[in-house]
Structure formats: C-alpha cells, structure tokens
Amino acid sequence: MIAKTEAIVLRSMKYGETSRILTLYTRDFGRMSVIVKGARAAKSKFGMALDVMSHSAVVMYVKEQRELQLLTQADLIEQYRGIVEHPERLMYGFALLEFLSATVHGEEAHEELYEVLVSSLAALDAAEARPANILLHYLLRLIHALGLAIDARHCTRCRADLSHEQALRGHASFSERQGGFTCSDCLPAADAKRVAIETVGALRWLDTHAVAQSATLALSPRAASEALQLLQQHLREHLPEMRQVKSLSMLDLFS
C-alpha cells in the first residue's frame, strides 16, 4: 500500500553504502522505522527533508508485518532553522524528540501526541528566550496525552484551589501515589515530597497557557529544574520501562 503522511524525523542512521534508516513520528501511523535507499547519494533528491528534527511530507510503501517500511519520497515542510542554528535551542529540541522516543513505542497513530510535538517544535523555533519553559510545557502535554495528567490546580485531598494565596502558605508537597499536590491544611501523604511554591505555580501557569506563550513566564533555574525532575519522575513512575533521556545532561537549566 502506498501511504502519504507527515512526519518529524526522530533519528537517522547510515545504512550500507548509500542508504539511511530513519525513525519517524508520523501523523497517521505513529512511530515508524523506514529505510531510504539512495539517501546519501551525491545527488540525493531528499535535500534536508530527512534531517533529524525536520518536518516533512512523506510517501512510503507500507507492508503490514514488515518492521522496516520503504520511504520513497520526502518533501520538507519545515526545517526549524531557529532550532538547528542555535545550539542551546537545539539541545532542547533533542530533549523533546528523546522524551517522545523514550515514552512512545507502539506503531499506532496518536494525533494529539503528533500535534503536541509539532506545536512545541514551532514554539521552540521562535523562542528567543527561556527554551526550558517549552520543554516543561511539552512534558505536561505529553503526560496529559498519555493519560497520566497531574492536576496542578487543586489540592488532591480537599480540592482547594491552589492559586489562592493561603492554600500553600509557604509550602507545597507532591505525592506520586496521590498523583498531585496537597495544600497546607491537609496532611501530606506518606510519600510526599516538599516542592517550592514557585514550581507548583509554574506548572499551573504552563498548564493553562498555550505553548507559544510559555516563554513569557519568568522562572528561576531552581524551579525549572525542580519542575523538570518532578515531571520526569512522574513519567518514570508510570512507565517503568522508560529509557534514560540523555540529552537532559546537556541542558544548562541546572546552572
């Protein structure tokens, strides 16, 4: 069957003399591995459409039960030059792709995950500052799309609105077992961990704003780092087989 779809290139590997094997995240088929014959030939027709992070329209020859599909055509839709030409943003771009690779395995379409990835890459492409906020926003959306959402708006015990000033009165705690935060009037769960109020506020803010706005939130490196650790831990708790996301160690978020 000939299949046309759109994809983001997650990984690319040389294969044989002139070919490449790519991992794609496609709009209509989810994650896929494809072989591209002649991709590395001197006059390849593919241009930058097969580069990692590129957003491309692709045509494939798909056979069910075959692990590696054959890609025959790829046309660049968006290269995200604002990401690939800025080393700092590029590291965050790799982190977005790696989180998707680490958490999504099966070959099935998940349009929400696809849209979240594409809109986050577009926001990162345009982000003049605070790329860390885009990664945090992306992780909140990824967690939501996987059905593992964290409620950063209400106390998990009494449902108090955490945006009210007295609800956190100097401290907040997060319980993985309860899947959320508790206010200062409620007893924290046995597994609760102290979390800075700034971190809870940032997660709540990001959760209620579009990704394109996320770079306008001023966030201390400490809160950004705490939020990232919390979201990552939450993913790992629910997806024990999740791989280590190596590109995180390259981010200067922790400085």
Binding site for Zn ion (CB under 5 A): 155, 157-158, 160, 183, 186
For helices 131-145 and 111-126, angle between their N-to-C axes, nearest 10 degrees: 170
Task: Please tell me the distance from the alpha carbon of residue 140 to that of residue 231, in angstroms, as a whole number.
Answer: 7
Do 79 and 51 touch, CB atoms closer than 8 A? yes
> Judged by CB, which is closer to Zn ion: 24, or 160?
160
Q: Least distance in Å: CB of 185 to Zn ion?
A: 5
| Token pair 């390259």 in the structure block, residue | 250
> Judged by CB, which is closer to Zn ion: 35, or 186?
186
Q: Least distance in Å: CB of 78 to Zn ion?
A: 44
Q: Least distance in Å: CB of 73 to Zn ion?
A: 56
Q: Least distance in Å: CB of 167 to Zn ion?
A: 7
Count CB neighbours of 43 within 10 A. Answer: 5
The β-bridge partners of 36 are 20
Q: Least distance in Å: CB of 166 to Zn ion?
A: 11
Task: Please tell me the distance from the alpha carbon of residue 55 to that of residue 234, in angstroms, as a whole number.
Answer: 29
Task: Please tell me the distance from the alpha carbon of residue 75 to that of residue 77, in angstroms, as a whole number.
Answer: 6
> Judged by CB, which is closer to Zn ion: 25, or 181?
181
> Judged by CB, which is closer to Zn ion: 29, or 181?
181
> Judged by CB, which is closer to Zn ion: 105, or 159?
159
Q: Least distance in Å: CB of 252 to Zn ion?
A: 36
With residues binned 3-state (H G I as helix, E B as strand, rest as coil), the percentages for the chain, rounded to 5, are: 40, 25, 40
Task: Please tell me the distance from the alpha carbon of residue 56 to that of residue 121, in angstroms, as a whole number.
Answer: 13
> Judged by CB, which is closer to Zn ion: 83, or 162?
162
Task: Please tell me the distance from the alpha carbon of residue 147 to that of residue 144, in angstroms, as a whole number.
Answer: 5
Count CB neighbours of 46 within 10 A. Answer: 21
